[in-house]
Each structure stands twice: as structure tokens, then as C-alpha cells.
Amino acid sequence: MSDIALAAEHVEKTFGEGETQVRAVRGVDLEVPSGEVVLIMGPSGSGKTTLLSMLGAMLRPTSGRVMAAGSDITALPESKLPRFRAGTFGFVFQDFNLLGALSARENVEFALNLAGVTGKPARRRAEELLDGFGLTDRLDFKPHKLSGGEKQRIALARALANRPPVILADEPTANLDSKIGHEIARLLRTTATEEKRAVVIVSHDNRLKEVADRILWLEDGAFRALEGMATDPVCGMSVDRLDTPHYQVDGITHYFCSTGCRDEFAANPAHGRPTAGAVPGES
């Protein structure tokens, strides 16, 4: 399909050998067309980061293929991957990962430099993006003088600088308060819709479900059906109904990520959040 910006075919990743071998990602298939926002959720250690690293050409799969912008990343020589990353992917990280020695504008310009855009054109493009994100008066500020929301908007501007067909976001709202988190989520949605980028978000944050076209659940390195998922009423995490701690109150069964959350809920059920996936009468 011509509008598929990012695709993974039977991607596997295994670390170590023999008894210490770990299969971090098991036969993942994924297609993300331009303009779509895909949210990948899952518990810690489920392989989300490993999958994201492979999708972003930072880690080679043990087997399978990753296609981005029409190229087979897995077939590209190591020497060509950096330039390919610079032109094909925009990255947004939980910790923002701005270069502390550079100003807001320079952080964006740096990404442009990596794709071969330098001098005034780079400067103009950086200013244009930062203006668009309401950071006109923060151009020359170093990251340590900016708020979390401002840093993430700069990171988003940097991710968009080279007009990449794919945006990969790792927990983009985790270090942000609710209001700013929503704003970043909205910006990611707008980016996908208006600029026709494929956006893949890895997150635990349920707020991002609102902007996602598709939600995928990754557990033990493989995608699982979402029909079997519920939301932990204490921490808000999505959990599989199978083999997880649960607790029934007023005829409704609630599911938890851990016994800690279950016990906390059991001590005071009124403090639980409104939940999705709680099942009336189930025991």
C-alpha cells in the first residue's frame, strides 16, 4: 500500500543466548498509514521500547523486516542508518532529551543540520516551527530555563523539523501535568491529521487514547487483543483480565496491575477512578 509510512513484518528480537535468552519482541506485525495515530500500550517490560527502537532504526531485529518511507531499514548498511533516521523519523521522548548546551532554536536547527539543511534556511525553519508552537519568546532560552511543557513542544518542533513521514513518541506526556499533557496529545493528533504523518506513541497514559486512531496492547513481546483489557481503577494502567489480581465490589469486578493496587482499592473503594473494562457480576 502506497500510504503505509511504517510497517513491521514478523519482527522478532532476542537478547542473549541459551538459558539467559530473552525474547523481547515476538513476531510483531504492524502497518501504520500516513495520518494515523497508533498508541501502543502495555506493562513495563512488555517490549514496547525494544519495538520502538527497532521501528526507529536504532536496533536491528533478530528476524523480520521493518519498512519505513518505502525502504527496508533492516537491509540498510549501518553507515546509512544515521542519515536515514534524520530524514525519516521524528523522535519525541519522555525526558525531552533536548541538548542542554543549545538554545531552543539551536536544538531544532541541529536536527535540520543533520539532514543537510544549514544556515539561514535552517534558522528560518526552526523559528517558524517554534513560533507555531507559541515559543517565539523562548527561542534563545536554554532547556534548563524552560518548563516541561515548553521543552516537550521544542522536542516536537525538533521532531517535525525535517518533515519526516514518521513520528515516534516514547511516553511523550509522562513528565507533564494534565493540561500540558492534553496539549501535547492534541499537537500529536494535529500533526498526524494536518501534516499526514504516521504517529506511533508508546505510553501508559490513558489520556492518549482520546487522540489515537488505534490502540495496540503489547504484552510479553506480542500484540494481544484489547477486548480482554481493563483499566486499573487505582493507577489507571491498562491490564489484561487474565491472570491479574481482581476485586469485586457491589457486584462489579475490578482488575488491577498488582496486588498493591488491589489492596489499596479494597481499603477504600470510593477512591478508585471511573474504570473501563470492569465487569458487572463477574467474579
Cβ 258 to other proteins shortest distance, Å? 20
User: Of the two residues 51 and 278, which places its CB atom closer to other proteins in the complex?
Assistant: 51
- Taking contact as CB under 8 A, which single stretch among the options 24-32, 38-46, 94-102, 267-275 is the one that binds other proteins? 94-102
List 109, 183, 205, 240, residue binding other proteins (CB under 8 A): 109
- Taking contact as CB under 8 A, which single stretch among the options 1-9, 24-32, 37-45, 95-103 is the one that binds other proteins? 95-103
- Taking contact as CB under 8 A, which single stretch among the options 30-38, 50-58, 241-249, 263-271 is the one that binds other proteins? 50-58
91 binds other proteins (CB under 8 A): yes
The CA radius of gyration of the chain, in Å to the nearest whole number, is 20
Cβ 236 to other proteins shortest distance, Å? 19
DSSP three-state, residue 29: strand
- CB contact set of 263 (below 8 Å; sequence gap of 6+): none
69 binds other proteins (CB under 8 A): no
For the chain, report the end-to-end CA distance as a whole number of angstroms. Answer: 45
Phi, psi (degrees; rounded to nearest 5) at 21: -65, 135
List 36, 150, 170, 219, residue binding other proteins (CB under 8 A): 170
Contacts 24+ apart (CB under 8 A), 100-103: 100/142, 100/143, 100/144, 101/142, 102/142, 102/143, 103/139, 103/140, 103/141, 103/142
183 binds other proteins (CB under 8 A): no
141 binds other proteins (CB under 8 A): no
Cβ 190 to other proteins shortest distance, Å? 22
How many residues belong to the site for other proteins (CB under 8 A)?
Answer: 34
113 binds other proteins (CB under 8 A): yes
13 binds other proteins (CB under 8 A): no
Specify the amino acid at residue 202.
V
List 79, 178, 268, 283, residue binding other proteins (CB under 8 A): 79
52 binds other proteins (CB under 8 A): yes
> Is 24 exposed, middle or buried (CB count within 10 Å of its CB: 0-12, 13-18, 19+)?
buried
> Is 119 exposed, middle or buried (CB count within 10 Å of its CB: 0-12, 13-18, 19+)?
exposed
258 within 8 A of 267, measured Cβ to Cβ: no
85 binds other proteins (CB under 8 A): yes
- Taking contact as CB under 8 A, which single stretch among the options 28-36, 103-111, 215-223, 254-262 is the one that binds other proteins? 103-111
Question: Which triple of cell numbers denotes residue 178?
Answer: 494534565
List 42, 43, 47, 56, residue binding other proteins (CB under 8 A): 56
Helical H segments across 14-118, by residue range: 48-55, 81-88, 104-114
User: Of the two residues 21 and 79, which places its CB atom closer to other proteins in the complex?
Assistant: 79
At residue 151's C-alpha, the angle toward residues 148 and 154, to 5°, is 155
Specify the amino acid at residue 33.
P
How many Cα neighbours within 13 Å face the side chain of 257? Answer: 13
Contacts with other proteins by CB under 8 A lie at 49, 52-53, 56, 58-59, 79, 82-87, 91, 93-95, 97-102, 106, 109-111, 113-115, 118-119, 158, 170
